[in-house]
Structure 1
C-alpha cells in the first residue's frame, strides 16, 4: 500500500546521498536555492523533497498532468494536507522514541517492541482516516481520490478494530498456546503458535478460536535447566509472530514515510504559490506537449528567483521559440537576456515537476534532462584559466547529455578571443543540436551568432530590444544579430558621457562628470582616488 501522490505507479525514491556536480551547477546557475528556500521555509524535509522533485528527470507528460491535478487539490485543501503531514511526522517521531533493547536478538523482545509500535501506528492510521474521509467527497484528482479510497477500504473500521484486538492478544497477558510435533528421537519440530494464522490478514492474520489444552506440565521453581529450555522453546515459538508483527510495523512506517515525503512537495508548492500571490506575480498551469515534440513558448514569463529575491514582481518577457532546436538570444547589454534565460530554465523545471509557472501562459515539452553552462568567475585556486574551466564543464555536460535534453548556455566560451570562441562554440553547439539536444544560447559574440544565423539548421533568433533613448524595455523580439551590444548606453548611464562613432567620449563632453570618481596619478607607480 502506497500513497502514489507523485507517480501513478511508483513511489518517490530516496534522495541521492550527494549532489552530482552538474545538478549543483544547475542549482547555482538558475538560482534554485532561492526558489527551494521559499518553498521549504525552515523545514529541511520539504527542502530536500522539493529539490529532488524539481531537479528530477524521470517525468513524462502523463506524470505532469497527474501532478497538476493533484496540485489543484493541494491548493484547495492545504490545511488537510498539512494535517496529514503532521500526523505522519509525529507517528514516525514516536516510533523512534520506542528504543530497541540489547536483547533484540530474542523473538520475545522483538515482539514486545513491535506491539508498542503497532499500537501507536494504528492510532496514527485512525487519525489519517478521519482526514481522508473528509476529503474523499471533495477530491477531484485521481491521486487523492485513490489514496482516500485505499485508506477507507484497506484500513477500514473493521480492520482497525480487528487489528487492535490482535495487538491485545500479542501482549500475551493470557499466556501463549503453541502446537508442535515430535520427530524421531523426541526432537520438537513444527512449532506453531495458535495465536494467529499468519497467512490470513495483511497485518497479522485472522484470529482462530483457541481451545483449552487437555494436559499441562509445571516446571519446578528451582529447575533452572527446565526454565532455560522453556525460555528457548517460548522464544522459538514466537519467531513467526515476532517477525510478522515487526514486518507489519515496518510496512505502516514505510507508508507514513512515503506519505509524508510526497505531501511535503505539495506543501512546498502551496507555500510558494502564496508567496508569489503576495508579490502580485500571476501563475498559470502550463500546457505539456506529448513526447517526441519540441515546444518552448512563454507569454509574460517572470523570473521567480528574481521576484523572491527582490520582493517585487519582475518585468515579464514573452518568448516564442516554437519547436526550434536552437534558440539564440542576442542584443543590448543589460537588456534582460540572462534573466530571460534563467526564467525559461526555472519555468521548464517547475513545469515538468508538475508545478505552476509564473507566466500568463507556458507551453513546453518534457526534457530528458536540463543542463546549464553559465559563465564563471576566475578559478580561485589559479589551477585553470577561465577558458579551460569552461571547456572542462562543457566536456562533462557532453558526456552526460542525451537526445531530448535541454542545454541553457549563457555567454559560453566568452573568456577567450571572439574568433576562437566562435569557432569552438559553433562546432560544439551544432553537434549538440544534430544529436537531438535543444540549445538556448545567450551570447554577445557577433561572429558566433552570425555563423549560427547563416547556418541552414532550423533556429530561432531573438534580440533584447533597446529603446530610442537607450533605455532597456527588457523584451525579446524575433530579429537577427547586430554587431553592437550598445555598450555605449551603459557608459553614458555610469559616467554621464556619450560616446562617438569611434567609441570615444564625444567632443565637448567633460571627461570628469560631477560626482564621479576619477584617478589622480601623482607618480608613475602610484595612484589615488578622490571624489569631486
Structure 2
C-alpha cells in the first residue's frame, strides 16, 4: 500500500541531497527553522521525528516543477486542515511505536515456526489489524474536510479502496478465528495421500475458536477412559492416548504457523506502510507547526512560483575562457530567473516575533548579484533570506515573502565567513580556499552559490584578485551567484565593465548614517562606512561613562580612558592632538 504524500510516484527521495549540507544548515541558520517546526504550542519538548523528517526534506530539493506543484498542493491542504493532520500524525506515530514493540517481540521469540513464536506472532497480527481498522475509520471521518484533487485526498481514496470495509471485516474475522489455537477450537485440513500412505499437500481449509458453551463443556470432560478410544456420540471418537494427543498438538501448531505465514508478508508490508505514513505526516506536521508560528506573529508567507527558463540558440553560448566582457545574456537551460516582493529572513522574524524589514528583487534573468554597502546594513540577513527562500521553494513549501518566483536548483552551496577557532588546523584564508575548492569541484550550471564576505581574511588587493578570478569563472559558465562583499576594489572593477547578467545592489544608508536595512539596486561605493559604527561606539561609551559619573561622582580611575577615546575621535575631525596633528 502506497502513501505518496510527498511524491506522486514514490515514497521518498533516496538521493543525498545537498552535497554541502552542514554548511547550508549552519550558514542559513536552519536549526532555527527546525526549532519552530518541531515543537507545538504549549509543549516544551521537541518532537525528534518531526525534526528529522523536516530536515531531511529541506536539504533534498525537488527536481521538476511538476514535483513542486504536487507537494505544494499537499502542503496547502495540510495547512488548511492542520488539526486533522496533527491528529493523524499522533495516531500513526503511536501505531509505529506499538507495532515496532510487537514486531521485536515476535522476532525475539526465535524461529518463526517454533511453538514459542506462535503467540507473539498472533499478537503482532492482531495489533496490526486493529491499527489498520482505526486508521480506516479515522480517514473516513475526515475525508470530507479535504478538498478533492490533490495528493492528500488521493491517498485517502487509495487507502479506502485497497483496505475497504469488506476487506477489513474479512481480515478481522480471520484474526478472531485464530483464537482456535488458545481455546482448543476446531480446524479443518485437507491433504492428499502420498507414497507409503504419507499425507501430502496439506491445506488449512477452516479454523474457528470454541464458543463459550463449547468451552464450558470441554472443562467438564475430566474423566479418563480405560480404553484407547472413547465414544462420545454415535459418530464421534475421541482420542485419549498421550502420544496421539501430542501429535495432534503438533499438528495444531503447524496449522497456526501455516496461517501466520500466510499473513507474514502482509504484516511486514503494512509495517513499512505505517512507517512511510508516519514519516511523511511528520514533515507535514512540521509544516503545520511552522505555519502556526508564522501566523501567531502575523508574519507573511506565500507559496512560491516555479518558473521555467526558455532555451536559447546554441551559438550564443560563451566562448571558452570568456569572462565578464563576453558572456551572453542567457545560457541554454540555465535557471537564472528570480523575482521577490517583501522578502525577509524568517529566522530573524520567528525569534523576534515581529515582521522585519523586507526587500524586493525585480524580475530579472540575471545570474549574478553583487551586494555591497554599509557595515551592519542588513546585507548578510538579505543573503540568508534569499538562501532560505530558494531552499524552501525547492522543497515545495511556503516561503517568507509576499511573493516569490524562482527556478529550481539541484545544488546549493554556501560560503560564509568563519570565525577562527582552536578546531581549525589551518589559517582562515586556507580554510576558505579549501571550502571553495570543494564547491568548484562539485558545482554544475543548476547550482546556486551564496558567498558572504568571502576572502575578507586577506588584504584588499589579494582578496579582490581571488574574488575576480573565481567569480569570473562562475559567471562565464552561467552559474547563479549571490555575493555579499566588502572587497570594494573588486566590486568597482566589475561594475566599471558593465557586464551583462549581473545585478548590483547596495545596503541603504541615510545621510545621518542611520541604516534602513533595505537592500536597493545601486553601484558599489568606495567605502563601507565603518567609521559610522566607530562613532556610534564612542558615543555609547561616553554616554555610559557620563551616566556612571553622575551616579557615583567618581571622576578618577577610568576617566583617562574616556579622554583618550575622545582624543582619538577628535583626530578624525580636526588637527587637535591624537592622530589629527603631525607628530614630533
Would the TM-score normalized by the shorter structure come out above 0.5? yes
Change (3 A) 1:195 1:367: farther
Q: Map 1:263-302 onto structure 2 (within 5 A).
A: 263-290=281-308, 292=333, 293-302=335-344
Which residue pairs with 1:40 in the alignment?
38
**How far apart, CA to CA, are the structure 1 residues paired with 2:15 and 2:172?**
35
Q: Which residue of 2 aligns with 1:25?
A: 23
Q: Partner residue of 1:364?
A: 406
2:439 aligned with 1:439: no
Distance 1:20 1:407, change over 3 A: closer
Q: Is the 8 A contact 1:379 1:385 kept in 2?
A: no
Q: What residue is the counterpart of 2:232 in the other structure?
A: none
1:329 deviates by: 0.7
- Asked if structure 1 preserves the Cα contact closer than 8 Å seen for 2:136 and 2:160, the reply is yes
Partners of 1:371 and 1:71 lie apart in 2 by 26
2:530 to 487, 496, 520: 487
Instruction: Sort the Cα spacing of 1:281 and 1:232 in 2 relative to 1 into closer, same or farther, 3 A.
Output: same
Q: Does 1:328 align with 2:326?
A: no
Asked if the contact 2:6–2:280 (Cα under 8 Å) also holds between the matched residues in 1, the reply is yes
Selected match of 2:278 from 244, 260, 265: 260
Q: Cα 1:401–1:184, aligned 2, differ >3 Å: closer, same or farther? A: farther
* Closer, same or farther: CA 382–361 of 1 in aligned 2, 3 Å: closer
Q: Please, which moves more after superposition, 451-460 or 418-427? A: 451-460
Displacement of 1:192: 3.0
Provide the rounded CA distance (Å) in 2 between the counterparts of 1:296 and 1:477.
Answer: 15
Deviation at 1:451, TM superposition (A): 3.8
Residue 105 of structure 1 corresponds to which residue in structure 2? 112
Q: Closer, same or farther in 2 for the Cα pair 1:51/1:257, shift >3 Å?
A: same
C-alpha separation in 2, matches of 1:487 and 1:123: 68
Question: Once the two structures are superposed, what CA deviation does each residue of 1:7-39 show, in whole Å capped at 9, x if it has no partner?
Answer: 1111125898xx988211111100000110100
Contact 2:13/2:60 (<8 A) preserved: no
Asked whether the 8 Å contact 1:107–1:242 carries over to 2, the reply is no
2:189 aligned with 1:178, yes or no? yes
Separation (CA, whole Å) in 1 of partners of 2:482 and 2:115: 63
Aligned to 2:508: 465
Shift of 1:385: 0.2
Q: Which residue of 1 aligns with 2:4?
A: 4
Counterparts of residues 154-165 of structure 1 (less than 5 Å): 154-165=162-173
Offset of 1:328 from its aligned partner?
Answer: 0.8
Verify the 8 A CA contact 2:571 2:578 in the aligned structure 1: no
Shift of 1:504: 5.3
Match of residue 138 from structure 1: 145
Structure 1 pair 131–511 and aligned structure 2 pair: CA distance change class (3 A): farther
Q: Which residue of 1 aligns with 2:573?
A: 506
Write 1 or 2 for the structure with the bigger share of helix. 2
Structure 1 residue 432: deviation in Å? 2.8
Cα drift, residue 129 of structure 1: 2.5
Q: Which runs of 5+ in 2 are unaligned?
A: 40-45, 208-234, 310-332, 543-564, 580-584
Q: Does 1:428 align with 2:428?
A: no
Q: Which has the larger radius of gyration?
A: 2
More divergent stretch after superposition (489-498 vs 74-83):
489-498
Secondary structure in 2 matching 1:307: helix
Matched, 1:63 2:67: yes
Residues 8, 63 of structure 1: 8 Å contact kept: yes
For the Cα contact (< 8 Å) 2:365–2:501, is it kept in 1?
no
In the alignment, which residue of structure 2 is the partner of 1:190? 201
Aligned to 2:242: 221
Residue 226 (structure 2) aligns with: none
**Residues matched between the structures, number:** 488
Give the equivalent residue in structure 2 for 1:241: 259
Residue 126 of structure 1: aligned partner: 133
Deviation at 1:344, TM superposition (A): 0.7
Deviations 1:71-112 (A, max 9, x none): 221122111111211221222222234323433432555554
Per the TM alignment, residue 480 of structure 1 is displaced from its structure 2 partner at its CA by 1.8
Q: Which residue is 1:89 aligned to?
A: 93
Separation in structure 1 between the aligned mates of residue 189 and residue 241 of structure 2, nearest angstrom: 20
C-alpha distance after superposition, 1:169-217 (max 9, x if no partner): 3333434433344544566543333349xxxxxxxxxxxxxxxxx9999
Cross-structure match for 2:449? 407
Give distance in 2, aligned partners of 1:190 and 1:457: 80
In structure 2, C-alpha distance between the alignment counterparts of 1:400 and 1:240, rounded to whole Å: 54
Once the 2 structures are TM-superposed, how far is the Cα of residue 391 of structure 1 from its aligned partner?
A: 0.8
Query: Which segment drifts farther, 428-437 or 229-238?
Result: 229-238
Q: Is the 8 A contact 1:321 1:327 kept in 2?
A: no
TM-score of the superposition, structure 1-length normalised? Answer: 0.83
Select which of 385, 404, 408 maps to 2:427.
Answer: 385
Q: In 1, are the aligned partners of 2:62 and 2:395 still within 8 Å (CA)?
A: no
Q: Which moved more, 1:35-44 or 1:103-112?
A: 103-112
- Residue aligning to 2:157: 149
* C-alpha contact (below 8 Å) 2:62/2:396 kept by paired residues: no
User: Structure 1 regions of 5+ residues with no counterpart?
Assistant: 197-213, 513-532
Q: Separation in 2 of the partners of 1:331 and 1:166? A: 74
Aligned in 2, Cα 1:167/1:333: closer, same or farther, shift over 3 Å?
Answer: same
What is the CA RMSD across the aligned residues, in angstroms? 3.1
CA distance in 1, matches of 2:89, 2:272: 14
Deviation, structure 1 residue 411: 0.7
Query: 2:452 and 2:163 mapped to 1: Cα distance?
Result: 53
